[in-house]
Amino acid sequence: MLESYVTPILMSYVNRYIKNLKPSDLQLSLWGGDVVLSKLELKLDVLEQELKLPFTFLSGHIHELRIHVPWTKLGSEPVVITINTMECILKLKDGMQDDHESCGSNSTNRSTTENTKSSVKPRRIQQAAPTDPDLPPGYVQSLIRRVVNNVNIVINNLILKYVEDDIVLSVNITSAECYTVGELWDRAFMDISGE
């Protein structure tokens, strides 16, 4: 029963960032608890909109994406999304070089950055607590909210390449994790109730 609610929500998050994803293949695999997808292409425009960096993504690939859903302990263990080897090639956005070279634009960039930060915060809060009218009321809705707000993301071998004319700067990050924490910044499974 929970699969029919949780699977579409998880797949909508994954589908937002991945090109040419077939939901039918994912749904059957996810019901078994694990999905492994290989050689995926990232939606570059979505990454640029979400991250709001001064860079343009030239390419983005994921070698392997694993999604583990602990169906029997869904209310007490997080869904784990593991990305093994992700490579992104970046370039400075057009016009950004001109902004940094001019003296008077420094205060303009600072105020633009502050405006961007204030506008990003409310959107992230909305994403963390989805208010989907299709969600069933009561226990199932609170369980789905708990699952979505406790997703762990693990990235192994993140490769970022910055390209500018004939110069390439490469940064390799062995491991990065994103998970929920408690008040003392210790890893925790949060029970987030609706408002």
Query: Could you read off the pLDDT of 112-134 as tens digits, one per residue?
Result: 445 444 444 444 434 444 445 55
pLDDT at 193: 60
Could you report how far apart the first and last alpha carbons of the chain are, in Å?
Answer: 25
pLDDT at 145: 84
pLDDT at 8: 80
Exposed/middle/buried for 159, CB within 10 Å: 0-12, 13-18, 19+? middle
Q: Give CA–CA dist 55/118, Å, rounded.
A: 20
pLDDT at 148: 85
pLDDT at 141: 81
pLDDT at 125: 38
40: left (phi over 0), alpha (psi -120 to 50) or beta: beta
pLDDT at 71: 83
Q: Which residues of the chain have pLDDT under 50?
A: 100, 102-105, 107-108, 110-113, 115-131, 195
pTM given for the model:
0.72
